[in-house]
Structures are given as C-alpha cells and as structure tokens.
Amino acid sequence: MVKAAEPKPVPGEYSIDTGLAELEPEPGNPDSWLLKINGMQSSHIDLADPLRLEFEYMRWIVSLIEDRWSQSSRVRALHLGGGACSVARYLVAKFPDSRNTVVEIDAALANYVREWFGLPKAPLLKIRVGEAREVTTALSAGSRDVIIRDVFSGRFTPGPLLTEEFVAEVKRVLSTDGIYLLNCGDAPSLANARREAATVAAAFAHTAIIADPPMLKGRRFGNIVLAGSDAPLATGAGLPRALLAGAMPATLWDDAQVRAFARSHQPFKDQ
C-alpha cells in the first residue's frame, strides 16, 4: 500500500477568491502554522496534534460541546466559516464517530487548506464551498447536532448571519437537543454582542456566554462565545473551574445573566 504524502505547507502569500491568504510558520515549531486572511488572524493548526487549539475562543466552543456529549457520540456538526478547519479537525479527533461539514465561501482557500493540512477525509470532514446562509437553509430539518458560526468579513460577521430569520433556519436544522455556537467579535461598547444575545435568547430556551472578564467589562475589542439551545447548557460542574484555569481565564454566564445582558436590545432582523 502506498502511504499518503505528508502535507507540506509552504510559508508565503497566496491569492484567493476573497483577497489574500498568508501562511506563517510558528517560530520553533515546524508543525504549527498561522493562517491570515486579508491581514487578520483566521486560524492556527498544529499538524502533529489535532487536539491543540491555540485560539482561546475555539477552546471555549469545544468545551460546551464536550460538556454535552461523550466521546462515543455521533455528533453531526456544521461549521459555518472554514479557515484551516481547526475545530472540525479537533472534533474528528475527539469524537471519532462525528461527522463534520465545513462551509467555506472561498473555493481557492478551500483547495489550499486541503493541500496544506492533510485534513481527514469525508465523511469525517467535508468542505462544502458556498455561502453560509444559503447552505444552511438548504439543509434538512433536524440534520445537525451542532452548528458553529465563525464567519467574518474583517472584524465583524456579515449582516445576513446575525438576524432572527437566520437563527430560525439554524434552529430548524438543529436536533431537539442541538447547540448553536457563535463566535461574536465586538468592540468595547458590546452593542453588537448584546443584540446577538437578544437574537439568540428570543429563539432558544437556554443560552450561555463564555468570554474573558475584561471583554465582558467592555475594556477591549475581542471575542465572545454565545450559545443557544432548547436543552440546558453547561451543566457540568467542572466547566466553570476549567474555564477559569485556562491560559486566558474565562467567565461562564448562565441563561439569566445572558438575558440580563441583552435586556435593553432588540434582535437583529433582515432588512
């Protein structure tokens, strides 16, 4: 049997459909790579260790998935926003019977990522080229257990992926105990995050937020992970302690705190 060739990323700049991708090696670690899209950090991947997630918000996302399902579960995950497929690759390693579909709008980037990183093959991990909302609305009801939205144009998520109409489509596609997980980038005002929280809270019975305390106090630009589900979230007693013990200590807000955070704001709606 001929052994598959090892992936061989080459540092440099690459023209893609949406602009420019940059691939940078991690100093002192030939297996680790940083992917930038149009100058913004998009993904980090360690070819030697799929369970290493360098970006803190990605660790927060998978912590909520791991809190809900055991490693033997057949988790069906839809990843809106591709990048280097870091979280999808993690879930394949952590949940060997999982099925992951990554939606990436940039066909050239998707081809590069397959070439560079030797990703798991379908049905474990599939990359589907398309626009996130269009793909989501085309999926069957109840066909996914997890939907992760990590889509950015610059520093912010495109408007069509913020609205209550889109969240209604997400909820339709999710299983009854499924989880919607959003990476929300915001400025210190937190106005966008509050409206996103109001939108998710209007659709789901249970919500949660994970972020570092300075971000929640409006002291910097950064990431907030927001979750919605019709089943209780973050029920594991050890999760808050684990989040506080991370490289960037994080706070877990429960449903009451999320709804209080969003109280004075209206959900996003389609124009």
Q: What does the pLDDT look like over 212-262, one tens digit per residue? A: 999 999 888 889 999 999 999 998 888 999 898 888 899 999 999 999 999
Q: How does residue 2 score in pLDDT terms, banded at 50, 70 and 90?
A: very low
The alpha carbon of 240 is separated from its chain's Cα centroid by a whole number of angstroms, namely 20
Structure tokens at 3: 């052994």
CB of 43 closer than 8 Å to CB of 110 = no
Q: How far apart are CA 209 and CA 250, in angstroms?
A: 10
In this structure, the number of other CB atoms found within 10 A of the CB of residue 65 comes to 23
Q: Which residues pair with 149 in a beta bridge?
A: 80, 182
Q: How far apart are CA 5 and CA 8, in angstroms?
A: 9
Dihedral sign of CA atoms 108, 111, 116, 120 in order: positive
* pLDDT above 90 (res 82): no
Q: How does residue 177 score in pLDDT terms, banded at 50, 70 and 90?
A: very high
Where is pLDDT greater, at 80 or 246? 80
Q: Taking residues 60-69, report their average pLDDT.
A: 96
* pLDDT above 90 (res 108): yes
Q: How far apart are CA 78 and CA 218, in angstroms?
A: 30
Q: How far apart are CA 24 and CA 34, in angstroms?
A: 5
Q: How far apart are CA 227 and CA 238, in angstroms?
A: 18
Q: DSSP letter for 245, please.
A: T
What domains sit in the chain, N to C, each tagged with a CATH number? 51-262 (3.40.50.150)
Instruction: Point out the least confidently predicted range of 4-18, 139-153, 175-189.
Output: 4-18
Q: Which residues contact 118 (CB under 8 A, 6 or more apart)?
A: 4, 6, 7, 47
Pairing of strands 125-129, 99-104: parallel
Dihedral sign of CA atoms 125, 98, 81, 169 in order: positive
Structure tokens at 36: 């930038």
Give the residue from 38, 49, 43, 25 showing the smallest Cα distance to 79. 43
Q: How far apart are CA 152 and CA 161, in angstroms?
A: 10
CB of 33 closer than 8 Å to CB of 26 = yes
What pLDDT is attached to residue 5? 59
